A and B are shown apart, each in its own frame.
Chain A
Amino acid sequence: MNTTVLEAVHITKYFHDPLDIQVLKDINFYLNRSEFVSVIGKSGCGKSTLLYILSTMDTDYEGDLLIDGVSMRQKKEAELARVRNEKIGFVFQFHYLLNEFTVLRNVMLPGLKLGLHSEAEIEHRAYEKLKILGIEQEALKRPNQLSGGQKQRVAIARALINDPLIIMGDEPTGNLDKKNSEIVFEIFKELAEVYHQTLLIVTHDNEFAARTQRIIEMEDGKIIRQ
């Protein structure tokens, strides 16, 4: 079970505007299957920037990124979109649900894009995911009818729909109160322990990080502890 799903090799990144600033300095680390890892560090230490590179959305960096053993360096935009669709699930600080669609449809969209299953099958799977997160009775509502905590759980369901290799979270509890943060953390924990889901969560909540399996701590664009 101890296979590497994600590996960062000498990742370096500069911001060019307004001045050339090196935000990431020679980042090397790996992520094993079914690990629950958190990345912590002070504001501005480059942890979000690192996450966007790891998520393939940011392609302006030096070094290499291997997902499932495959280099992302030479891939084109459409191929990277396919990788994100198939292998990566996202949970952001903000939920980013589409108000034009029902909760169910929001969860289904990445599945429909991947197109591995029929629409009926995807709908069934979306219900399954919502059930895991305990919000299946909200399936036919619009996102703007839901509370903040519920919205974040829908966003997690959406991240799960294609059974991704890794779930990446960018401050997923940053906008939530104590109680909802606790619920979301419990969900992540359950995903890791029961479903052996690999999780990589960026947070500045040290309490949250302390309860994960492994902590990567960053400072000034470098990993100081992992």
Chain B
Amino acid sequence: MIKFKLIAGISLSLLLARWKQTLVAAIGVTFSITMFIALLSFMGGLNSLLDGLIVNRTAHVRLYNEILPSRQQPVEQSDDFKNKYAFIHSIKPRNERLEIRNSGAVIAAIRKDPRVVGIAPKVTTQVFYNVGSIELMGVVNGIDPEAENRLFAFSEYVTTGNFMDLKNVPNSIILGKAAAEKMLANVGDVIQVTTSNGERMSLKVVGYYQSGLQEVDKVQSYASIATTQKLLGETNSYITDIQVKLKDILQAPAMAKEYGQLFDVEAMDIQTANAQFETGSFIRTLISYAVGITLLIVAGFGIYNILNMMIYEKMDSIAILKATGFSGKDVNHIFIAIALSIGVFGGFLGLVFGFGLSAAIDQIPFNTPALPTIKTYPVDYNPNFYIIATVFSILTTYFAGYFPSRKASRIDPVIIIRGK
């Protein structure tokens, strides 16, 4: 203990004797840690914002039926043609309904699964919006507004009106903002829609929906499940999609496969549906880590230089310490302690400033019509960034101090003393 105190005391004195240089070194570390934290927090915020555009609004696993040709053609089932190759031309998709068969039982079964956060059933259908004599293409999503909001933050994208009106007002619709502008439909207006079967229905506009993706807002609109079923003339068990939200998004591909086989439906997991977002996030994160770590290494060279200079200046002191009984190890510890205290002090200030800079970025207004819910630049206050920055600042300063310290510990006192 007394030895530790002695080494620390000598380190501190040497450090204070050259306080201007050590301050510059510490500022280097502070700057790099500040930028590291701010950069990663901002990049992290941006990533989760962009991911959120898709990921938070998309089911982790989506069950649906698709018009597809049969996977097994009748000829393949016949015993007469076993071990033969069949070349079949002009295969047509089989005539199948988009409805998920036995949807009530499927929903009940998935609800019981402990890996599932919740599910939201959906009825999707193509429609035409009738504006005078013009027909506009559109898609009506029949949803359960409560489940949709709880799982996929539906209310965040309803920029005008209350999303719960879908449930409370009969025959109501929330139009995509771009579609509503095309139709000149205001909230409270009644619009006409026509289904592909020729059914026609009047729906009251109760709000606007804005996703931030213009192409989506031009066609998508939302109604309640019951309204959509009525529009299609179907019974109340008619469901075309089941959207499942999982506790662990990484399990989605495995569970999609499992559900697809179990319920005999198409099952799409979020990773497959949005592969490009995953890649984009990964590359952005990689770049910000690379820049941050580069900054730290540059700061490490600063510390290396200053320690080297200090060792040249303090050659005499090192020699006399060794002559009076300090071992090479003690001298080594003294310089490592100097390097580490620069790292710890500069790093700690860097964490504080980094947090401050992130908070400042968080206050800068950022208004864009594409992202209605975002008012300021996004920042992710992830404690992992702070942990990584701390570990790296200590590691780089340790290595920056390692070589000069080793040199100092090997100084031969005889050469210095004889040289005088």
Contact = CB atoms under 8 A, between A and B. Distances in A.
B305 interface: no
A92 B417 contact: yes
Nearest to B416: A96
Interface of B: 2-3, 6, 10, 13-14, 16-17, 316-317, 319-330, 412-414, 417-418, 420
Closest 9 CB pairs of A and B: A85-B325, A81-B327, A96-B320, A100-B13, A78-B327, A110-B324, A100-B17, A112-B6, A84-B325
A113 B6 contact: yes
A99 B324 contact: no
B326 A113 contact: yes
Interface stretch (A50-58, A180-188, A204-212): A50-58
Contact of B330 (A93, A113, A158): A113
A113 B325 contact: yes
A95 to B, nearest CB: 9
Interface in A115-164: 115, 118-119, 158, 162
Contacts of B14: 100
Nearest to B413: A57
A158 B324 contact: yes
Interface in A20-75: 48, 52, 55, 57-58
A114 B325 contact: yes
A92 B420 contact: yes
A158 B321 CA distance: 11
Interface of A: 48, 52, 55, 57-58, 77-78, 81-82, 84-86, 90, 92-94, 96-101, 109-110, 112-115, 118-119, 158, 162, 170
A98 B320 contact: yes
Contacts of A115: 2-3, 6
B317 A98 contact: yes
Contacts of B316: 94, 96
Given A57-B413, A96-B319, A100-B17, A78 B420 contact: no
Nearest to B409: A77
The B interface, classified by DSSP as helix, strand, loop or mixed, is helix
B324 A90 contact: yes
Contacts of B327: 77-78, 81-82
Nearest to A161: B324
Nearest to A89: B324
A118 to B, nearest CB: 8
Nearest to A77: B328
B41 to A, nearest CB: 40
A72 to B, nearest CB: 14
Nearest to A97: B320
Given A92-B420, A112-B6, A119-B2, A81 B326 contact: yes
B316 to A, nearest CB: 6
A90 B412 CA distance: 16
A86 B325 contact: yes
Nearest to B18: A100
B419 to A, nearest CB: 10
B323 A57 contact: yes
28 contacts: A58-B414, A77-B327, A78-B327, A78-B328, A81-B325, A81-B328, A81-B330, A84-B323, A84-B324, A84-B325, A85-B324, A90-B323, A92-B323, A93-B420, A94-B417, A96-B319, A96-B323, A96-B417, A99-B17, A100-B317, A109-B321, A112-B2, A112-B6, A115-B2, A115-B3, A115-B6, A118-B2, A162-B325
A54 to B, nearest CB: 12
B329 A78 contact: yes
Contacts of A52: 414, 417-418
Contacts of A101: 13
A84 B325 CA distance: 5
Nearest to A80: B327
Contacts of A55: 323
A157 to B, nearest CB: 12
A97 B417 CA distance: 13
A67 to B, nearest CB: 13
A98 B17 CA distance: 11
Contacts of A82: 325, 327
